[in-house]
Homo-oligomer: A and B are copies of this chain.
Amino acid sequence: MQLLEDRIRKDGKIREHGSVLKVDSFLNHQIDVDLCNEMGKEFFRLFGGEGITKILTIEASGIGIACIVAQCFGVPVLFAKKSKTKNIDGSVYTSQVHSFTHGTDYEVMVAKEFLSPNDRVLLVDDFLANGAAIQGLMDIVHQSGADLVGAGICIEKAFQPGGDLLRQSGLRVESLARIAAMSEDGITFC
């Protein structure tokens, strides 16, 4: 998606010798809601014929984009929570996710009452790198018996293995910007 690639070139900041792309100014600290709306329209162009009933994402930075995407589809958002809080009781689906950023494992959970075999689910997230978060969400969808239609990703680090692994497993993955390589000198898109 040209609009997103242009924005990444303009405002993205590459750190830690090319391993980290910061998009804090428009995607995951400050959020440009107009850009998100354009991304939502593009996801709807790609997945709008699939009878999606629910958008599933993971807290925290996926929630904003997912809500705006959900408006384009006219369906609710469900976000997986990273820890058990007082505000969720009853039975939940859980899955373990490894965070490569923080070097730790964490649990994600979704209340069972909000996913059923009648749902057709689109996963949405801001980044795809190693694919661990998306795999956790896939696991939860499979536990629920819902149909998993695919994953809509804003930015895929295509030089990391997550996207290929997910596609090889049969998941339809649509990434609006796919980064082939990045260094402190710049970014190359696929």
Contact = CB atoms under 8 A, between A and B. Distances in A.
Contact of A79 (B26, B29, B65, B110): B29
Nearest to A20: B86
Chain A interface bracket (under 10, 10 to 19, 20 to 34, 35 or more): 35 or more
A164 B75 CA distance: 36
A184 interface: no
Interface of A (DSSP majority class): mixed
A85 interface: yes
Contacts of A110: 29
20 contacts: A20-B87, A22-B89, A24-B114, A26-B76, A29-B79, A29-B88, A29-B111, A30-B78, A31-B77, A31-B78, A32-B76, A59-B59, A63-B63, A63-B64, A64-B64, A64-B77, A65-B67, A67-B67, A68-B68, A68-B71
